[in-house]
Amino acid sequence: MRLPLSLLASLLVAAPLAAADGRGLAPLGPAEKVARMPQGAQVTCADGARVTVSILAADLVRVRTVFAGQPDEPDHSWAIARTDWPPPPWQLAETTDALTLTTAELKVVIHRSPLRIDFLDAATGRVINADQRPMARDAKTGRVAAAKRLGFDEHFYGLGEKAAPLDRRRGEFTMWNSDTPGYVEGTDPIYQSIPFYLGWENGRAYGLFYDNSHRARFDLGHTGQEAAVYEAEGGVLDYYFYAGPSMKKILGRYTELTGRMPLPPLWALGHQQSRYSYYPAAMVEEVARQYRARDLPLDVLYLDIHYMDDYRVFTWDRSRFPDPSALTKTLGDQGVKLVTIIDPGVKYQPPTDGRANRPGEPLSPHPELAPQADSYYVFNQGLAHDFFLRRQDGSLHLPEVWPGKSVFVDFTREDARRWWGGLHRALTDHGVAGIWTDMNEPSDFVDKSGASQKDVVFDDLGTHSLYGKNRNVFALNMARATYEGLQRLQPDRRPFVITRAGYAGIQRYSTMWTGDNNATFASLALNIPMFASLGLSGETFVGADVPGFIGRGDGELLARSYELACFVPLLRNHGAVDMYDHEPWRYGAPYEDIVRKYLKLRYRLLPFLYTTLEEAHRTGVPLFRPLLLNFQDDASLLNLDDEFMIGDALLVAPVVRAAERGREVYLPRGRWYDFWTAAPLAGGTMQRVDAPLDHLPLYVRGGSIVPSTDSMNHTGEKPWSPLRFDVYPDEQGNATGSLYEDDGASPAYLRGESRRTAVSCTRAGAATTVTIAAPLGPYRTAARHYELTLHAQPAGTTVLLDGRPLPEISSPSTAPGWHRPDARTVVVRLADDGRAHEIQFR
């Protein structure tokens, strides 16, 4: 039997309130005074604490608590992208026991004594979420806490990058960006901290975002039955409540608040190859040559830290890379982009014999190519402008990373961010296409925990806050500096930035990968809940090192890794410096053939992937999704994290265990199609499917229309022609889909320079009609034709194009017409003339 949260709350009796909870946490005093504000109310407590409840939207409420004796910090967050929220209609009502703020969707009930907050559905009065005990603070340590009642059937999702199963219920998780190579399931914390989760109970969802960048802990029923607890080591208690009930709606609101992913360049969806490290330049060129000779698609090659002069950022090792511009041109002629790594650590190098350039003294035109042994221009400039972090005693903060003793930039300063962003011309001037930011937790080889760095001071908008508040946002602000710098340096190009660490809002500036994973099947299986959880935390463009950074792996792991990664937004092959090479041909021809098959499939599906990525940019709903996001009412999916969906259309069930040649697949209710055979399947059941090494169980949801094209060597090799639409009707014979297009390179899409084509299918009696709407938007494509494939269409077809009979043609023909490749499939070919068309099948 399931108990609703409201009933369970009545059964859970909290312990009597005391001055403190035994661990120093003292609860808020009772409400004493209420002041109405333009967007809510402020409650002053008997102990002097202030609780401000702000109505930002009918389904979005902010609660900000400043405890008695606590410094009232400036109301600023590096995570927040939108601060202007026109107040929706709302009402305030007061009784002797409580005050209630009501919107069209939500009731916020603030109980006076003890002060607790409940969130209720405005229409039904159902409790969505409620305090289990008052918010609390430890005055001695600054620790703050909130505890929400734990529902009997409540499950939790999100919290960003965690090496854990999809469902966080009964878990305990720490928010503290940490350099954790070789992590396994259960390792916590790792590289990112996203203090946002979705709660689910009986098909309804809500969201909670605790915007506090201090080290924090979530206990989601791990140590007790009563509460989902949040604790942070400092700062104010500031959270946002999202009413739901739709998970997609919550993600839309969350990314409206913290920002949405800008569209990356189209080439970022291509295959990317990396190694720690490729050098010299001749090896980089040979890798690209091998890819082309072996008919393996490739768009990007990476340079790791060995391209630099003795690990000095924004320099080139001229012995290994004598002419960086010539290298990028050679690669570019083959359609391959170059991405270079940049770490935050600047080599600590006071100049010898006073050889540093004086402020205002011009540098050589390309200082990045000059010898740096006597005078390092980046260190000199940063020191002259005091851009580097210092301790409270005024001394430089000197962590140790790849260059040895190093300094870190204070990215909370706008002038320092602007300087750092401008330094990237040392790379972009030579044709580098993207920037890979690494080691940005920030890592310190001497002390990865941060315990010895507590007295490091950040400007933080003039507040001069300490390391504990700023560690988790260090990578966010570094990514911002990099992204905005690339925008200024190349205003006609979309920046491409990849990061290892991050905080809420990181999606505004960077894609990310899941760090130094292992080349094991256990790590491969962990990819699915990690990617899904990142998507449920606002991060859409994610990926992992294929087939794993640490370890050799084998051909089977490589093949299965590519079968999964074929559908992951960031598809990058990468391996450690002391590990066996991971390029696809290293393991033998049979495995290379499998990799080729799935790379070509990915490039065929570029129109679908790019269209789905644009949806994520526009709505905040991710490309890579747990099935629960699309089928929120299906309780069978609460813990299913070995399958995933791409958008609404494709369900992927990869094999993630060694030596398996089959697996159980769950298809949710409705009609499905086997992607490879187009055979219709009934959902709502678990079924056993064969999966030989070269086969990926892949399904299309009935009611979908999937755009695709021919495969290619790289994303810019040729236009999408023919443009194919595969129509998979649902049980009623209906389907919908769309195609999004733009130039794939510039920010012109932000000004509306795009094209969107809607396609729909309806059935009436024995007739099926497919409509291709006239494209919307000013973007123009090259001349091309459409190929429309209607699946599950019975024999005896007559095809009409705009009311006129269309001739039957042989399948290789390039003329307009139709043909049947098999008894249940019809293929129609017609010109894309920019006009609407109606195709009837009778």
Sign of CA dihedral 402, 405, 410, 416: negative
Query: ∠ CA 444-508-530 to the nearest 5 degrees?
Result: 65
Query: What angle separates helix 555-565 from helix 521-535, to the nearest 10 degrees?
Result: 10
If we measure between CA atoms, which residue out of 261, 267, 260 comes closest to residue 744? 267
Element (H, E) at 658: none
Q: How far is CA 491 from CA 425, 487, 617, 746, in A?
A: 13, 5, 20, 8
Residue of 154, 161, 238, 516 marked catalytic: 516
Q: How far is CA 360 from CA 65, 294, 392, 415, 766, in A?
A: 47, 52, 29, 16, 79
Interatomic CA distance for residues 117 and 390, integer angstroms: 41
Q: How far is CA 205 from CA 129, 242, 243, 257, in A?
A: 10, 9, 7, 18
Q: Residue 198: CB partners within 8 Å, gap ≥ 6?
A: 156, 157, 158, 205, 206, 207, 244, 247, 250, 536
Residue 189, preceding peptide bond in cis (omega within 30° of 0)? yes
Active-site annotation holds for 441: yes
CA 498 to chain centre: 11
**Residue 814: strand, helix, or coil:** coil
Q: How far is CA 441 from CA 26, 45, 464, 508, 654, in A?
A: 32, 38, 20, 18, 31
Q: Residue 525: CB partners within 8 Å, gap ≥ 6?
A: 642, 656, 657
Alpha helix (H) ranges present in 106-187? Answer: none
Structure-block tokens of residue 344: 């935050």
Structure-block tokens of residue 602: 């990915």
If we measure between CA atoms, which residue out of 535, 536, 416, 423 comes closest to residue 477? 416
Interatomic CA distance for residues 420 and 745, integer angstroms: 24
Q: Is the separation of the CB atoms in 69 and 83 below 8 Å?
A: no
Q: What is the largest CA-CA distance in the chain?
A: 89
Structure-block tokens of residue 549: 């950074």
Residue 87 identity: P
Place of tokens 């990799």: 595
The four Cα atoms 515, 509, 742, 777 give a dihedral, to 10 degrees, of: 140
Active-site annotation holds for 438: yes
Phi, psi dihedrals of residue 294, rounded to the nearest 5°: -95, 5
Interatomic CA distance for residues 3 and 514, integer angstroms: 37
Interatomic CA distance for residues 569 and 263, integer angstroms: 12
Residue of 441, 460, 615, 726 marked catalytic: 441
In the chain, % helix, strand, coil (3-state, to 5) comes to 20, 30, 50
Interatomic CA distance for residues 114 and 680, integer angstroms: 58
Structure-block tokens of residue 614: 């644009």
Structure-block tokens of residue 435: 């920037």
Active-site annotation holds for 634: no
**Residue 225: strand, helix, or coil:** coil
Q: Is the separation of the CB atoms in 74 and 463 below 8 Å?
A: yes
CA 670 to chain centre: 29
Distance separating the N- and C-terminal Cα atoms of the chain: 51
Residue of 118, 138, 285, 438 marked catalytic: 438
Q: Which residues are catalytic?
A: 438, 441, 516
